[in-house]
Amino acid sequence: MTDLAQLEADLSAQIAAAADAAALDAVRVAALGKSGSVSELLKTLGALSPDERRERGPLVNGLRDRIGAALATRKTALEAAELDARLAAERVDLSLPAPPERRGRVHPTMQTMDEMIAIFAEMGFSLAEGPDIEDDFHNFTALNFPPKHPAREMHDTFWLPEDENGERKVLRTHTSPVQVRVMQTLNRQLPAWIANGQKPPIRIMVPGRTYRSDSDATHTPMFHQMEGLVIGEDIHMGHLKWTMETFVSRFFETPGVEVRFRPHHFPFTEPSAEMDVRCDRSGGEIRVGQGDDWLEVVGAGMVHPNVLRNCGLDPDKWQGFAFGFGIDRLGALKYGMPDLRDMFAGDRRWIEHYGFSAFQAPNAATALS
Ligand code: PHE
């Protein structure tokens, strides 16, 4: 065997025997490195005569190329084997529990709103909505607030700056403007309904945000109301009272909730009333159905004839009742939160304590049970 053939056989054996990347690299350096065995052979070519070089040159260069190729092939094979070994060793155990994660909570206001919607939906009310930024007509004028009357300030209204038409919009002070929007729509649709032999009645609920410049333990500048409106041909105060009492007993899921109606004044209802729920606020916590305190939860009344007229309905033919609940207050009463301001303070400890799991979302069945 020639010296070259011997060297190639040795190197090939070493390449085949290299068990990992480091061993293989040592072989590479020993053969092709600066003073490696093959590199040394290449250096000797310069000293040969042209004839000798023509014969030996291709042999040595060929040896270098084959060793280089063998090293590359072995390297690829070693890397593949290493990856296979890792894949085999680092198996994922899908039966392990997932790492613990913080879960979001449902805000009590949203929970309360969903509970209310479930109960009123059972009673045949459907959902309606309106804009948070209202015009003076829908928030006040159509609801029978006289022009320039101090009643417009009664609500501690947030007025927006005058727009390019000289109009001042408001952040709606209540959800009652949606009554107007719904009655106007009814009025537009009435001829078609009557032609079809259909009769209204309207039964809508309007959950939404409302705004007043007011802040203490039972008032926040942004809060939520649930408006209700029923319009028909023979609706009376008894329907209103039954609806309120039935709702409250279902909402609090206890027969012992005591309510009282007080005469009140709203420009858009006549007669008007407020309903309070008996509660105890003495111990830093709020408890419903006991104690000597009353918390007002709803304003209500029979829709004022002027409001019906403003919406294009004939008050001699149509009557109805309306109500507006404070959603946050009802939630505070049911779930024992003493200060409404905490509800919107954005404190995570509060929401973790009072918030609900997403799996507790109510439906009509649980709300009525
Ligand atoms: N809009 C009234 C308020 O915010 C509540 C209300 C609604 C009263 C409907 C009567 C009828 O105080």
The Cα-based distances of 45 to 49, 61, 210, 297, 366 in angstroms read 9, 10, 95, 104, 94
- The yes-or-no verdict on residue 89 having pLDDT over 60 is yes
**Quick one: pLDDT at residue 1?**
60
Nearest 5°: the CA angle 28, 8, 15 is 40
Ligand 1 atom closest to Cα of residue 300: 10
User: Which is higher by pLDDT, 36 or 283?
Assistant: 36
Residue 325: strand pairing partners: 226, 298
Indicate the average pLDDT of the chain: 89
Distance CA 215, CA 344 (A): 12
**What CATH fold (topology level) applies to the domain 108-368?**
BirA Bifunctional Protein; domain 2 (3.30.930)
Ligand 1 atom closest to Cα of residue 228: 9
Q: Under the phi-then-psi rule, with left for phi > 0, alpha for psi from -120 to 50, and beta for the rest, what region is 243?
A: alpha
3-state SS class at 309:
helix
Ligand 1 atom closest to Cα of residue 299: 8
Rounded to the nearest angstrom, the distance between the alpha carbon of 207 and the centre of ligand 1 is 13
Rounded to the nearest angstrom, the distance between the alpha carbon of 336 and the centre of ligand 1 is 24
Distance CA 273, CA 299 (A): 6
Distance CA 132, CA 211 (A): 9
> Is the Cβ atom of 301 under 6 angstroms away from ligand 1?
yes
**Quick one: pLDDT at residue 103?**
79
Distance CA 259, CA 296 (A): 9
Nearest to 221 by CA among 313, 69, 345: 345
Q: What percent of the chain has pLDDT over 70?
A: 95
> Is the Cβ atom of 120 under 6 angstroms away from ligand 1?
no
Cα dihedral 248, 253, 256, 257 sign: negative
**Quick one: pLDDT at residue 150?**
74
> Is the Cβ atom of 266 under 6 angstroms away from ligand 1?
yes
> Is the Cβ atom of 223 under 6 angstroms away from ligand 1?
no
- The yes-or-no verdict on residue 365 having pLDDT over 70 is no
Nearest to 297 by CA among 253, 321, 267, 327: 327
Pocket probe for ligand 1: among 268, 321, 325, the residue whose CB has the most ligand atoms within 8 Å is 268
Rounded to the nearest angstrom, the distance between the alpha carbon of 308 and the centre of ligand 1 is 16
CB-side exposure of 263: number of CA atoms within 13 Å? 2
> Is the Cβ atom of 299 under 6 angstroms away from ligand 1?
yes
**Quick one: pLDDT at residue 151?**
67
Q: Which residues contact 157 (CB under 8 A, 6 or more apart)?
A: 170, 171, 173, 212, 213
The Cα-based distances of 46 to 30, 49, 57, 361 in angstroms read 21, 8, 9, 88
DSSP state letter for 106: B
**Which tens digits make up the pLDDT trace of 100-148?**
777 789 999 999 999 999 999 999 999 999 999 999 999 999 999 988 7
**Quick one: pLDDT at residue 221?**
94
**Quick one: pLDDT at residue 364?**
46
Q: What pTM does this model have?
A: 0.70
Ligand 1 atom closest to Cα of residue 303: 11
**Quick one: pLDDT at residue 104?**
85
> Is the Cβ atom of 176 under 6 angstroms away from ligand 1?
yes
Residue range 31-42: mean pLDDT, rounded: 92
Report residue 65's pLDDT band, with 50, 70 and 90 as the boundaries: very high
Report helix angle 50-89 to 3-17, nearest 10: 10
Atom 4 (ligand 1) nearest CA = 174
**Quick one: pLDDT at residue 231?**
93
